[in-house]
């Protein structure tokens, strides 16, 4: 395989056939790959799924494993939010096989795992990533254990089990859940199907940017993006950078990152460059972005800065109110996704700029 893992800190390279998930130095792994093909003509002729972009993903040309795994994910509708706000669009990413945007990353990651001959995968999740990995692992014939917190929405847990995965519920914080999963990965020597650590996941989420490029006459001025671990934000950023490298776009849209006020580690570090004492995090209804210590924090901050973006935090009442408003417009989303709309409502550019809000997760899954 031509692509390699490369350490974000010390630049050591590893073959992807090595089942590692971080560098010997402890650093995070990125992907070093050949420049993928970006060919608009080919895209236009492709199917209406994110696999129209497969030539820009790190799979060899004759690799067809993804065809045995895809469930038609991606190429989701881009729809005007409300006719009174003609320049604001929502991208309905809950129209996915497992009802969240995580299918973009999970489909690519599990296709790669199958290509690598993986027989068992361990993942950890606050819900949707686990559901998605469980579904695609099931489809790929890969055994799957999902670590999650006992307090995860029961509907998400039920779905993970239904896909045949083994649920390992942990009493503890999201960070403790991740540590438990990582210990199990080391102990059992299996593939860590992590949406956070494995860079192949972002090869899937980057298609969000490609789709926006194809579906909009002109790329929006600003993209609202929820941020927990930053898999949508970073994927979008990578996709935009690739479009820029091919000179298809010249300026990147601003990335407007949304966090819950109750759990806003990145928004806090973004606003004070001086290292301040970290604020305690509290529970939030936005369980999908309740990440107190995101592993890729510095990469996320870098991406938001590079696009001249900003962070917005939203209060619990604002999230609840936003959920009701969105539902009245026809979009029934989970609370985590309502936070995106709440963030948009507070964004000062909302009146004048062209904006896209992602509807990342379906309402039916998020109720407790
Ligand atoms: C996972 C998730 C998020 C946050 O994504 P990150 O990759 O953790 O930043 C937001 N909304 C929904 C519905 C999710 O499932
Ligand atoms: Zn390293």
Nearest ligand to the CA atom of 195: 1
143-149, strands of its sheet edge to edge:
166-170, 143-149, 120-125, 191-192
- Which phi and psi (to 5°) does residue 30 adopt? -110, 180
What residue owns the CA closest to ligand 1's atom 3?
288
Q: How confident is the model at residue 276 (pLDDT cuts 50, 70, 90)?
A: low
Q: What's the pLDDT at 191?
A: 97
What distance in angstroms lies between residue 32's CA and the mean position of ligand 2's atoms? 14
CA distance 293 to 289: 11
pTM: 0.96
Residue pLDDT, tens place only, 156-192: 899 999 999 999 999 988 889 999 999 999 999 999 9
Q: What's the pLDDT at 38?
A: 87
Q: How confident is the model at residue 37 (pLDDT cuts 50, 70, 90)?
A: confident
Residues with CB under 5 Å of ion ligand 2 are 7, 9-10, 12, 23, 25, 27
* Section 28-36 average pLDDT: 90
Q: What pairs with residue 144 in β-bridges? A: 121
Closest Cα to residue 60, out of 105, 5, 115?
A: 115
What distance in angstroms lies between residue 302's CA and the mean position of ligand 1's atoms? 19
Pocket test for ligand 1, best of 102, 130, 287, 339 (most atoms within 8 A of CB): 102
- The separation between the first and the last C-alpha atoms of the chain, rounded to the nearest angstrom, is 43
User: Strand locations in the chain, DSSP E?
Assistant: 4-7, 13-15, 29-32, 78-80, 88-91, 120-125, 143-149, 166-170, 191-192, 222-226, 254-260, 310-314, 355-358
> CATH code for 78-100+200-366?
3.40.50.1100
In eight-state DSSP terms, residue 72 is S
Q: Would you say the CB of residue 299 lies under 6 angstroms from ligand 1?
A: no
Q: What's the pLDDT at 237?
A: 98
Which ligand 1 atom sits nearest the alpha carbon of residue 229? 8
R_g (Cα) of the chain, nearest Å: 19
The mean pLDDT of the chain is: 94
Pocket test for ligand 1, best of 238, 294, 331, 361 (most atoms within 8 A of CB): 361
Q: Where are the chain's structural domains?
A: 1-34, 78-100+200-366
Closest Cα to residue 232, out of 296, 310, 322?
A: 296
Nearest ligand to the CA atom of 26: 2
What residue owns the CA closest to ligand 1's atom 13?
361
- Which phi and psi (to 5°) does residue 329 adopt? -90, 0
**For the chain, percent of residues with pLDDT exceeding 90:** 85
């Amino acid at each position: 395989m031509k692509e390699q893992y490369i350490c974000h800190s010390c630049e050591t390279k590893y073959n992807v056939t090595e089942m590692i998930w971080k560098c010997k130095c402890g650093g995070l792994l990125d992907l070093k790959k050949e420049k993928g093909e970006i060919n608009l003509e080919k895209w236009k002729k492709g199917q209406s799924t994110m696999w129209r972009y497969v030539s820009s993903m790190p799979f060899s040309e004759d690799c067809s494993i993804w065809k045995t795994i895809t469930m038609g994910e991606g190429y989701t509708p881009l729809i005007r939010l409300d006719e009174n706000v003609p320049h604001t669009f929502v991208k309905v990413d809950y129209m996915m096989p497992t009802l969240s945007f995580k299918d973009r990353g999970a489909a690519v990651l599990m296709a790669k795992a199958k290509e690598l001959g993986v027989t068992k995968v361990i993942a950890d999740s606050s819900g949707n990533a686990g559901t998605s990995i469980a579904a695609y692992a099931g489809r790929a014939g890969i055994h799957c254990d999902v670590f999650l917190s006992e307090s995860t929405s029961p509907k998400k847990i039920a779905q993970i089990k239904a896909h045949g995965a083994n649920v390992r519920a942990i009493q503890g914080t999201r960070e403790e859940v991740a540590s438990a999963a990582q210990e199990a990965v080391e102990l059992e020597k299996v593939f860590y199907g992590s949406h956070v650590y494995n860079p192949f996941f972002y090869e899937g989420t980057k298609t969000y940017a490609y789709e926006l490029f194809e579906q909009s006459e002109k790329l929006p001025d600003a993209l609202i993006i929820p941020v927990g671990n930053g898999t949508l934000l970073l994927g979008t950023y990578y996709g935009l950078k690739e479009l820029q490298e091919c000179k298809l776009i010249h300026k990147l849209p601003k990335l407007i990152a949304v966090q819950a006020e109750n759990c806003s580690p990145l928004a806090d570090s973004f606003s004070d460059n001086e290292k301040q004492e970290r604020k305690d995090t509290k529970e939030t209804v936005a369980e999908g972005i309740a990440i107190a210590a995101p592993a890729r924090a510095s990469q996320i901050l870098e991406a938001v800065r590079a696009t001249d973006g900003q962070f917005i935090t939203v209060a619990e009442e604002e999230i609840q109110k936003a959920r009701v408003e969105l539902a009245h417009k026809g979009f029934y989303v989970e609370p985590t996704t309502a936070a995106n709309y709440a963030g948009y409502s507070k964004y000062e550019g909302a009146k004048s700029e062209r904006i896209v809000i992602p509807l990342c997760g379906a309402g039916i899954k998020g109720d407790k």
